A = this chain, B = another copy of it.
């Protein structure tokens, strides 16, 4: 065969339309940089898995070897019954009663659930409602399906239900395929939706017949304040996403979606084509972890660790950040959110920050529409003294930009 023919590229110009709307994650790219020894990382929402004791892991893996026949084999698309039973128990502790294993599907992290939900709901051009800012991974998952995003801002008490109502009036009943919200310790905002707002949100979505997608990865990681019930515990029509990533480990890629049967059946169908089934191996590791180890003690260690780091970051922000910078004061989760004067573009600061040994996530990636004067900081991964030093470095860069980028009158 003529090897030169091999130079032709038959795929050129052949990619699908949806490629054009797909969003790139700056955070993902930063994982490489964050791995450098001298780098202080505030970018990834990485649990500090160093907290996990080796002997605990050994118990889970010994159990997995005993179950090797099932652990190494294909499993069912919707996940293992036993894993789902553990999720049912976890949900009960969050006040979600009267559910059974058949009401949920185990996914490859909650991220896969986001992708599958988008896949079963979104036609190109359909409207979906998101918070502004919102989880960038959700924007990535959804944007592959070419929706029209409508954004609703939040304040320190969560989504602005008054502004949501305005949007709903504008689009009318069933005017959006769903509303996606992270009510508790929002990513990236760090804010938590107040109970009254939750009630009003549910009321509004009932009135306008909008399906609510509640993403709840962090609610067990509370370091201050009082527990607030999840939306799903207040309305069984809410589609709820959970994950083992923050209460066990993200490396297993285990999450779940709890949804009404009509929706769950479609998600299951979509999941067959997407991956046949998730990993039985990691599900079995998780089963032994939750059944045979004192996982609540380990979770308490996680909470103590993150709680101190949150304190350290809030203190450092108070001490070092210029007064023009607003930052949220999360009671749990992984993140706080900085809002800078409108003339600042945090995209422009990133390379500088990397050069000076600190990373953050520019806020622009977290908006469906482009907004550039904010950033997300994760306090979960670095030790207290490094958090202090990292904020000091960052504050210096910010201060310089406040001065140099100031528009001339």
> Given that A123-B17, A263-B11, A273-B23 are contacting pairs, would A49 and B64 also be in contact in the complex, using a CB cutoff of 8 Å?
no
Contact A52 B68 (CB under 8 A): yes
The answer to whether B10 touches A251, judged by C-beta atoms less than 8 angstroms apart, is no
**Contact A237 B72, beta carbon cutoff 8 Å:** no
- A272 with B65, Cβ < 8 A, contacts A10-B209, A16-B145 known: no
Q: B251, A76: Cβ atoms under 8 Å?
A: no
Quick one: closest B residue to A76, CB to CB? Answer: B31
Q: Any chain B CB within 8 A of the CB of A409? A: no
* Docked CA distance A68–B55 (Å): 11
Q: How far is the CA of A9 from the CA of B264 in the complex (A)?
A: 13
Are the CB atoms of B28 and A46 closer together than 8 Å? Answer: no
Residues of B within 8 A of A52 (CB): 68, 72
With a cutoff of 8 Å between Cβ atoms, the chain B residues found around residue A82 in the complex are none
CB-nearest residue of chain B to A22: B269
Across-interface contacts of A364 in B (CB, < 8 A): none
With A5-B206, A252-B279, A273-B137 already in contact, the answer to whether A11 and B109 are too (CB < 8 A) is: no
Chain A 203-232, CB-CB to B under 8 Å as 1, else 0, gives 101100111000000000000000000000
Any chain B CB within 8 A of the CB of A186? no
CB pair A6 B270 closer than 8 Å: no
CB within 8 Å for A140 and B273 given contacts A15-B121, A70-B251:
yes
Nearest chain B CB to A261's CB is how many angstroms away? 10
Contact of A1 among B72, B143, B202, B211 (CB under 8 A): B202
Encode contact with B along A124-156: 1 for CB under 8 Å, 0 otherwise.
Answer: 001000000000010011111100000000000
Q: Is the CB–CB distance between B10 and A276 below 8 Å?
A: no
Q: Which of B49, B54, B143, B282 contacts A65 (CB 8 A)?
A: B54
Contacting residue for A235 out of B6, B25, B28, B209, CB 8 A: B6
Are B140 and A1 in touch, CB under 8 angstroms? no
Task: Please measure, in the bound complex, the distance between the C-alpha atom of A256 and the C-alpha atom of B262, giving whole angstroms.
Answer: 33
Residues 81-118 of A, flagged 1 when their CB comes within 8 A of B and 0 if not, give 00000000000000000000000000011011011000
Chain A contacts with B in 358-378, Cβ cutoff 8 A:
none
Q: Does A19 contact B (CB under 8 A)?
A: yes
A341 at the interface (CB under 8 A from B): no
Chain B: CB-nearest residue to A143: B273
B111 touches A11 (CB 8 A): no
Please pick, from B74, B144, B211, the residue contacting A273 in the complex, using a CB distance under 8 A.
Answer: B144
CB distance from A54 to the nearest CB of B (A): 6
Q: Does A280 contact B (CB under 8 A)?
A: yes
- Bound Cα distance A22, B251 (Å): 30
Q: Is the CB of A108 within 8 A of B275?
A: yes
* Identity of the chain B residue whose Cβ is nearest the Cβ of A234 in the assembled complex: B1
Task: Please determine whether A203 and B16 come into contact, CB atoms closer than 8 angstroms.
Answer: no
Expressed in whole angstroms, the Cα–Cα distance for A142 and B206 within the complex equals 35
Residues of B within 8 Å of A47, CB to CB, are 73
When the two chains form the complex, which single residue of B32, B61, B234, B237 contacts A64, counting CB atoms closer than 8 Å? B61
Cβ–Cβ contact B273 & A109, under 8 A:
no
How distant is A63 from chain B, measured CB to nearest CB, in Å?
A: 11
Q: Which residues of B contact A144 (CB under 8 A)?
A: 119, 270, 273-274
17 CB < 8 A contacts A-B: A10-B174, A10-B209, A11-B260, A14-B121, A19-B120, A47-B73, A49-B68, A54-B68, A57-B72, A71-B251, A111-B274, A112-B275, A115-B274, A137-B272, A137-B276, A141-B274, A253-B277
- A-B contacts besides A72-B249, A108-B279, A279-B282, 18 pairs, CB < 8 Å: A6-B206, A11-B211, A14-B177, A14-B211, A16-B123, A16-B126, A17-B123, A28-B77, A46-B74, A49-B68, A50-B69, A71-B251, A74-B245, A111-B273, A111-B274, A144-B273, A251-B279, A252-B279
The 10 closest A-B pairs by CB, nearest first: A72-B249, A140-B273, A49-B72, A10-B209, A72-B251, A251-B280, A251-B281, A253-B279, A141-B273, A111-B276
